[in-house]
């Protein structure tokens, strides 16, 4: 009888253990992409910049693409708009004006960002323009209004943090090459730990007004491991004042 009791106890304990949810990874840290996606999501060669006097400092560096298949499936009219954006990229890119970068661009800009992860609460802080995202890990909710950074609802799929982002305005670009979207943008991000200091980042992008089908980008994100790693303040608005308002001067600067 004792042997039967012990066997039943072992089975009960095994079932209880199997039903206990696995501990979620803690994604806290300062992370950064190490690529040229902010210049162009697709594979691109080196190009001259807009100011010859800057020499090599002002050039566009070459880079491998981060788009699956290296093709962004634009609808015909949207493809023409993208090409127009590209010709005006030195004045039209929202980054030049210190506007909030949007999602997923905030992830692969040439600046670090921080994930604050405490229990079931997750927040993203970005060095560029002081952008912030709060990830709702409870019951999904709808965006109260459209915004630059969208509205983020998160959930766990195993060890992967999945963030479903909607509620965008149409004011951001994906990169400096002029890749863009409308206010129908829908982004699903996936953050998966590879090891302690590397995350695999994927974002599936769909926008019925601009693209013929969903498409995906992916890249590794690396943790800053310096002992004094921290986000520095970069309030870039003051550096964009001349670009935005210089034309209002009675005597514009040359």
pLDDT mean over 175-187: 98
133 exposure class (CB count in 10 Å sphere: 0-12, 13-18, 19+): buried
- Asked if pLDDT for residue 133 goes beyond 80, the answer is yes
Pairing, β 121-126 against β 132-135: antiparallel
CB atoms inside a 10 Å sphere around CB 70: 11
Residue of 92, 93, 75 whose CA lies nearest to 210: 75
pLDDT digits (tens, 9 = 90+) for 191-241: 999 999 999 999 999 999 999 999 999 999 999 999 999 999 998 988 888
**All domains in the chain, ordered by first residue:** 24-42+61-248 (2.40.128.20)
pLDDT, residue 97, reads 94
Bond preceding residue 104 cis, omega within 30 of 0: yes
Cβ contact 130:111 at 8 Å = no
Helix, strand and coil content of the chain, in percent to the nearest 5, comes to 25, 30, 45
- pLDDT per residue over 52-73, tens digit each? 888 888 888 999 999 999 999 9
pLDDT for 252 = 67
Distance CA 42, CA 151 (A): 26
**Whether pLDDT at 37 is above 50:** yes
105-114, 150-159, 228-237: least confident range: 228-237
Instruction: Name the 3-class secondary structure at 45.
Output: coil
How far apart CA 177 and CA 102 sit, in angstroms, is: 15
Q: What is the mean pLDDT of residues 69-97?
A: 96
In the DSSP assignment, the letter for residue 49 is -
What would the two tokens of residue 77 be?
């009219």
CA angle 103, 154, 93 (to 5 degrees): 5
Q: Does position 1 have pLDDT exceeding 50, yes or no?
A: no
pLDDT greater than 90 at residue 176? yes
Percent of the chain's residues with pLDDT above 90: 75
Q: What are phi and psi of 198, to 5 degrees?
A: -135, 130
């Amino acid at each position: 009888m004792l042997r039967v009791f012990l066997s039943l106890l072992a089975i009960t304990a095994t079932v209880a253990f199997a039903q206990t949810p696995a501990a979620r990874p803690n994604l806290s840290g300062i992370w950064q992409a190490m690529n040229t996606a902010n210049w162009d999501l697709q594979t691109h060669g080196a190009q001259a910049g807009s100011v010859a006097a800057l020499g090599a400092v002002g050039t566009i560096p070459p880079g491998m693409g981060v788009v699956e298949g290296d093709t962004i499936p634009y609808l015909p009219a949207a493809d023409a708009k993208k090409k127009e954006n590209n010709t005006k990229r030195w004045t039209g890119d929202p980054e030049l004006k210190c506007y909030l970068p949007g999602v997923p661009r905030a992830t692969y800009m040439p600046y670090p960002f921080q994930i604050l992860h405490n229990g079931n609460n997750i927040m993203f802080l970005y060095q560029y323009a002081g952008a912030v995202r709060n990830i709702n890990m409870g019951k999904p909710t709808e965006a109260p209004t459209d915004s630059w950074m969208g509205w983020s609802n998160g959930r766990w799929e195993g060890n992967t943090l999945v963030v479903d982002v909607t509620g965008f305005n149409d004011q951001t670009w994906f990169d400096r090459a002029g890749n863009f979207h409308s206010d129908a943008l829908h982004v699903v991000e996936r953050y998966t730990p590879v090891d302690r200091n590397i995350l695999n980042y994927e974002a599936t992008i769909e926008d019925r007004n601009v693209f013929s089908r969903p498409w995906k980008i992916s890249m590794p994100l690396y943790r800053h491991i310096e002992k004094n790693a921290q986000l520095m303040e970069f309030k870039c608005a003051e550096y964009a004042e001349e670009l935005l308002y210089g034309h209002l001067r009675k005597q514009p600067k040359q």
